Chains A and B, each alone.
Chain A
């Protein structure tokens, strides 16, 4: 499915690998269980590694492995299920994670800006999605009333002007 970054469709070099499939050379997203099981063996691998973190697992569970991970994929099982927002913030804030945070599942454009503000980098969008709609959605509101992981410069009181990449 198409991958969206900074409001544009971009190439996706990552490959998602099932629990028992052989590991390719390409950058690879692993299921959490496999990552945990094979952590020692994977330490010697050169290629970039990522993990699919289920919505009910706190990022703390992968804290010791984050140094090895270039990507963490989060999921919204339904667009109403906002746990990924907290997971993304925890990854950035608690764990200082600087790699890619990708969000998949059922995401709607109206959530794009908030996901970016919580620290997400990329979103997996449905086939045929119009990137212009997504790009507009991240720009529609330029003022925020609270701190977030996204860049912005402070205005008076609690307010800040958001900066769009």
Chain B
């Protein structure tokens, strides 16, 4: 049973700052795989009903989709090292069709796996200290954080440390594995929210007080789905050592009182909405009466985990001027981001080529990114919540070489943050829940706006597409949101405007009647033309919308009717 535990530790890039497993973590993972293998065997012997087996396989990341089993692999808070990304490429080649799909929750999905291969895939993941635990099911899911953590100049606290603590604490939590519904936590350490904290079951802002002490602002009850809600602030300040205790209190109130008779009302957001201030009081009462000591987060443990995320050995450099190459400059204007360390930058790699499937990467592309990470980013890669990849720590004098390497692999589309940097769920091409296609809509929009000059002229604009009301494509918080639904056997697309997932989080407003599959791209075109007609110099779509409101868009879209 402990065959895996005795194998040697994987050879990682020496400076990659991912949490490094030790023998204890590897023994745990081996036990978990043995448990799942036994559950599969008991299912096959008929000792577990399909109804009983389903949540067990889901808690190991395995879904039954339209055409095949889909395996969703956890990429804890979106952090990968080059060795791990290479192993994902190997899995894509050996057990899928040569590609993988990065998700908005910073995970990766393989859409064409076979049930009988899954134990082998889990073992291949374990070889590089990865797993698929709690990527589905009514439990605490993969914790997400800022893809620029440890690199961004505006960071106050490194959220990876606390994301890892949350990951460990929530792993096979005995009390919170059979919750009313799934539970998603996002944490940021920057005052500029890049994790959509306010639309999560729990959103955490890690911060420091004037005395320099660590603490957390905690929000709960946000979410998308069929009832989009912005979270409520529970606490402005939870001291660091009380972090896990307070989390326990929130989850406990939810586990006891969350609705269980209606799947559409089972998320914590409904409980928080319905109870209002009373929810906050119940959490405080729970927290006040539970024993504190066993849940105290020892600063020594925080320090030991923080050591995994110490800065890599940066060279002492100064910021430099970029090379004068217009094509490079166009890419850099979208993909290169300032770094806290002088002479370095973060590079965002677009997985949204014109006509491509948002978030998809081929095995070859994963290997190119792994090699570039090893050579230019201390072996580190991040997965962003908008389905792109990030090389967090690149020397400015190596940016040109990185760009050339990416361009050769078809990974240098200069559209980060632009209209073709679309979030889309898998939709009816893969998903058993979907009621409409998402991917081809994203492809057609990116083709319509393929002209880069036009995209650059339009500036930042987030288009988010979901293929059903469950909102995996986060359509409610897109500047332009598209929701595909089934209307009497026909796919139609509702459009919302003005959503936002950042500090000014907002749910978009429905513009009017839905558009057909054929007409949806023209409708987006009309919306963009209306924006251009009304915008002030350099004004982003979202700002124009907030200034002029829904009416001009409505009139332009439905005038002919």
Binding site for B on A (CB under 8 A): 58, 79-83, 85-87, 89-90, 93-94, 108, 110-111, 113-115, 117-118, 133, 136, 140-148, 150, 155-159
Contacts and interface: CB of A to CB of B under 8 A. Distances in A.
Going nearest first, the 4 A-B pairs with the smallest beta carbon separation are: A82-B178, A117-B174, A114-B174, A143-B28
B179 interface: yes
A133 B252 contact: no
Interface string B16-44: 00000010110110011011001100100
B295 A108 contact: no
B179 A159 contact: no
Contact of B304 (A118, A140, A156): A156
B255 A141 contact: no
Contact of A157 (B173, B256, B304): B304
A113 B172 CA distance: 10
B60 to A, nearest CB: 11
Contact of B255 (A82, A148, A158): A82
A148 B173 CA distance: 9
Interface in B162-179: 165, 168-169, 171-179
B168 A158 contact: yes
A86 B169 contact: no
11 contacts: A80-B55, A80-B260, A82-B178, A90-B252, A110-B35, A111-B178, A114-B175, A118-B174, A145-B171, A146-B244, A158-B169
Given A118-B174, A140-B34, A83 B169 contact: no
B289 interface: yes
Contact of A85 (B38, B138, B178, B260): B178
B8 interface: no
* B interface majority secondary structure: helix
A109 B48 CA distance: 10
B52 interface: yes
Given A79-B178, A81-B178, A146-B173, 6 more contacts: A93-B291, A140-B35, A143-B28, A144-B174, A145-B169, A146-B168
B320 interface: no
A150 to B, nearest CB: 8
B259 to A, nearest CB: 11
Contacts of B169: 145-146, 158
A26 B378 CA distance: 70
Nearest to B294: A147
B408 interface: no
Interface in B148-201: 165, 168-169, 171-179
Contacts of B179: 82
A133 B45 CA distance: 13
Given A83-B256, A133-B47, A136-B38, A158 B175 contact: no
A62 to B, nearest CB: 15
A160 B38 CA distance: 23
Given A58-B256, A141-B31, A158-B169, A113 B291 contact: no
B115 interface: no
Interface string B215-257: 0000000000000000000000000000010000000100110
A82 B290 CA distance: 19
Given A133-B47, A141-B28, A142-B31, A93 B290 contact: yes
A141 B32 contact: yes
A155 B25 CA distance: 11
A141 B172 contact: yes
B290 A143 contact: no
Contact of A80 (B48, B138, B289): B138
A89 B25 CA distance: 26
B305 interface: yes
Contacts of A58: 256
